[in-house]
Amino acid sequence: MKMKQKEEYTIILDYLPYGYPLEKKMMPIAQAIGIKTKVLLELIPRKDVKLEINEKVYIGPDKREKIYYILGKLKKDRITETTKENLQEFIDKEFENDEKKFIDFFNCSNAINTRLHQFELIPGFGKKHTEAILKERGIKPFESIEDLKKRVTNLPDPKKAIKKRIIKEIIGEERYNLFTE
């Protein structure tokens, strides 16, 4: 059984100093993403603390300088447009910093069951793409995303497709998580 990771740091995706519009309670709130777990959270900042978008903030068990408490997981219907935009940037950086993790996915993924392979869960990837990827990786493992695109013809852009999948997983729109917890 996999132990659930405790998040210690988040990146602020949106900061609402007066709370959510149209709500009576006007308390500051931040929408953030956990760096390790990629979970969207609602955070309540300490009094007189102003948070910046893309700021790294400690939320671990020890004394927190900027965060008073964690309200909980961010619900899908409360995600702001600013959070969506900044989430996209966060995923772009993650992809650039760890392309090897995504190549390993293409080199090591397995079937989920007899009818479905993990590749087919990536937007735009179907059975024919899956067969072509499996055939090519059987010859030689992929070395980069560019190598994958070169060797597997008619493949949708793997970077865009994976980023789209990650965002859907983070928001909670997917049954299986390939890249997040």
Given 30, 47, 78, the domain boundary residue is: 78
Given 45, 78, 111, the domain boundary residue is: 78
Q: Tell me if 84 is assigned to some domain.
A: no
Whether residue 73 sits in one domain with residue 105: no
Q: Tell me if 3 is assigned to some domain.
A: no
Question: Residue 84: what pLDDT?
Answer: 93
Band the pLDDT of 3: cuts 50, 70, 90.
low
Looking at every residue in the chain, the average pLDDT score rounds to: 91
* Half-sphere exposure for 75 (CA within 13 Å, toward CB): 3
Question: Residue 177: what pLDDT?
Answer: 85
Q: What CATH number has the domain bearing residue 166?
A: 1.10.150.280
pTM over 0.95: no
- Is 169 a residue whose pLDDT tops 70? yes
Average pLDDT estimate for 79-96: 92
Distance CA 108, CA 129 (A): 15
Whether residue 68 sits in one domain with residue 17: yes
Whether residue 67 sits in one domain with residue 117: no
Full residue range of the structural domain in which residue 40 is found: 9-78
Distance CA 43, CA 10 (A): 10
Domains in the chain: how many in total?
A: 2
- Is 181 a residue whose pLDDT tops 80? no
Among the listed ranges 36-45, 103-112, 168-177, which one has the minimum average pLDDT value? 168-177
Name the residue type at position 64: R
